[in-house]
């Protein structure tokens, strides 16, 4: 049975609870993007070389990918474009096929037992059997093809702009677009890609760094300076443009017409970038502290304000016994 007194009690406590919840919501949460990374503060790293491996310097590298311990490369230029398998230890070309002279090879990704190779302006993505290098089909697409990497059911594709196109890996249909930003500004000329865990590693045309992009938000979290890897007196077209990741080994990096390929890691980064979780930075710690203080303030408010309401209701002689009987002060 609900009496007038218990209605008052419920209303008062509902008010206190609502106010407390409001205070909790008002307490600022840590300053984080939807992907959990702080909105500000890109971290910078250097590439630390573990191994230097030979690389065919006639290869205009456009895509590099590793699958089951074997490395594949896509090369560009009209009349010189190829799909290759490379020995990961010696850099030797183990097998190759040439593209049509009207096609300029571009990004390369592995999907199941197939290799998918983009072409620059031909609007064709070739599908090859990874075992035989025989073409088993192709996809067509609008616009230019630059870089490509596979992550689960999705392919991430670049076209020289700051926007990546996400495609269904089984039929190449467009799923959505992802705008890539560095410190809130569009990161243009995205080129070769590599999908690593929740990140997309990207080369940027005519840039000497690798950019680590959140595959959810498109925000660049980290930048890896690779300027020390460039050949001495590099020609202007000898740019960084090959990234492949082997979980048990490291990151393989090369460039167009480079004589070497490097295997290494990012200095001051946890062992496995695929499972990498960054420690909290100062901004995040401050955010959580403020949140906790807000929470404590809300709890204190509830306790003190709640007691205040209780004494007010008591002073009006209204009590709310469990059996619903209403009686006045002094009857107990
Ligand atoms: Ca790649």
Binned at pLDDT 50, 70 and 90, residue 11 comes out as low
Asked whether the beta carbons of 65 and 156 are under 8 A apart, the reply is no
| Region class of 285: left (phi > 0), else alpha (psi between -120 and 50), else beta | alpha
Q: What is the pLDDT of residue 234?
A: 86
Calculate what percentage of the chain has a pLDDT beyond 70: 75
pLDDT digits (tens, 9 = 90+) for 13-57: 555 555 555 555 444 444 455 555 555 578 999 999 999 999 999
Instruction: Provide the 10 A C-beta neighbour count for residue 23.
Output: 17
Pick from 54-63, 99-108, 251-260, 293-302: least confident: 293-302
What pLDDT is stored for residue 302 in this prediction? 78
Indicate if the pLDDT at residue 327 is higher than 90. Answer: no
pLDDT band, very low/low/confident/very high, at 324 (cuts 50, 70, 90): very low
With a cut of 50, say whether residue 60 has pLDDT above it. Answer: yes
Return the closest-CA partner of residue 183 out of 41, 50, 87.
Answer: 41
- What b/e readout covers 46-55, taking b as 16+ CB neighbours within 10 angstroms? bbbbeeebeb
pLDDT digits (tens, 9 = 90+) for 138-172: 999 999 999 999 999 999 999 999 999 999 999 99
pLDDT digit string (tens) for 184-199?
999 999 999 999 999 9
Distance 264 CA to ligand 1 centre (A): 15
CB hemisphere CA count around 327 (13 angstroms): 9
Quick one: pLDDT at residue 27? 46
- The pLDDT value given to residue 242: 95
Evaluated on CA atoms 267, 273, 279, 284, the torsion sign reads positive
Q: How much is the pLDDT for 294?
A: 84
Alpha helices in the chain (DSSP H): 4-26, 282-315
Give yes or no for a contact between 61 and 93, defined as CB atoms under 8 angstroms apart: no
Distance 147 CA to ligand 1 centre (A): 7
Tokens found for residue 19: 């106010």
- Per-residue pLDDT reduced to its tens digit, 215-236: 999 999 999 999 999 988 888 8
Instruction: Say how far apart CA 276 and CA 271 lie, in whole Å.
Output: 7
pLDDT tens digits, one per residue of 65-123? 999 999 999 999 999 999 999 999 999 999 999 999 999 999 999 999 999 999 999 99
Q: How many CB atoms lie within 10 A of CB 305?
A: 15
Higher pLDDT, 112 or 281: 112
User: Is there a contact between 65 and 109 (Cβ–Cβ < 8 Å)?
Assistant: yes
Q: Are 242 and 251 in contact (CB under 8 A)?
A: no
Distance 70 CA to ligand 1 centre (A): 13
Ligand 1 centre distance from Cα of residue 245 (Å): 8
* Long-range contacts formed by 124-131: CB under 8 A, 24+ apart: 125/172, 126/83, 126/99, 128/83, 128/97, 130/67, 130/72
- C-alpha of residue 36 to centroid of ligand 1, in Å: 25
CA distance 179 to 195: 16
Quick one: pLDDT band at residue 207, thresholds 50, 70, 90? very high
Residue 145 CA to ligand 1 center (angstroms) comes to 14
Is residue 280 predicted with pLDDT exceeding 50? yes
Rounded distance from Cα 95 to ligand 1 centre (Å): 19
Q: Are 61 and 242 in contact (CB under 8 A)?
A: yes
Residue 131, both tokens:
């075992």
Separation between Cα atoms, residue 90 and residue 177, nearest integer Å: 38
For ligand 1, the distance from its centroid to the CA atom of residue 191, given in whole angstroms, is 10
**Tell me, what's the pLDDT at 308?**
57
Question: 321-327: which pairs have CB atoms within 8 A and are 24 or more residues apart?
Answer: 324/1, 324/2, 324/3, 324/6, 325/3, 326/3, 326/4, 326/5
């Amino acid at each position: 049975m609900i009496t007038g007194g218990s209605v008052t009690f419920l209303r008062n406590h509902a008010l206190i609870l609502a106010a407390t919840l409001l205070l909790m919501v008002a307490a600022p949460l840590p300053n984080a993007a939807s992907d959990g990374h702080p909105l500000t503060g890109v971290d910078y790293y250097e590439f630390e070389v573990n191994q230097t491996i030979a690389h065919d310097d006639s290869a205009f590298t456009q895509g590099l990918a590793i699958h089951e311990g074997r490395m594949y490369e896509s090369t560009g230029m009209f009349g010189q474009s190829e799909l290759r398998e490379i020995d990961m230890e010696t850099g030797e070309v183990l097998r190759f096929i040439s593209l049509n002279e009207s096609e300029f090879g571009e990004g390369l990704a592995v999907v199941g037992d197939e290799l998918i190779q983009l072409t620059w302006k031909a609007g064709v993505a070739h599908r090859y059997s990874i075992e035989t290098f025989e073409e088993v089909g192709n996809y067509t697409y609008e616009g230019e093809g630059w870089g490509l990497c596979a992550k689960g059911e999705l392919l991430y594709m670049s076209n020289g702009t700051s926007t990546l196109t996400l495609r269904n890996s089984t039929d190449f249909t467009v799923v959505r677009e992802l705008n890539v930003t560095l410190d809130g500004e569009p990161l243009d000329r995205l080129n070769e890609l590599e999908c690593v865990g929740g990140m997309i590693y990207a080369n940027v045309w005519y840039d000497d760094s690798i950019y680590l992009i959140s595959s959810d938000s498109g925000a660049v979290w980290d930048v890896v300076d690779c300027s020390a890897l460039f050949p001495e007196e590099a020609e202007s077209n000898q740019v960084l443009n090959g990234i492949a990741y082997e979980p048990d080994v490291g990151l393989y990096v090369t460039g167009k017409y480079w004589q070497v390929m490097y295997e290494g890691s990012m200095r001051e980064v946890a062992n496995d970038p695929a499972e990498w979780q960054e420690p909290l930075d100062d901004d995040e710690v401050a955010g959580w502290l403020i949140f906790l203080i807000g929470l404590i303030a809300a709890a204190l408010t509830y306790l003190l304000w709640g007691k205040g309401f209780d004494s007010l209701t008591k002073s009006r002689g209204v009590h709310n016994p469990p059996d619903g009987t209403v009686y006045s002060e002094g009857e107990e």
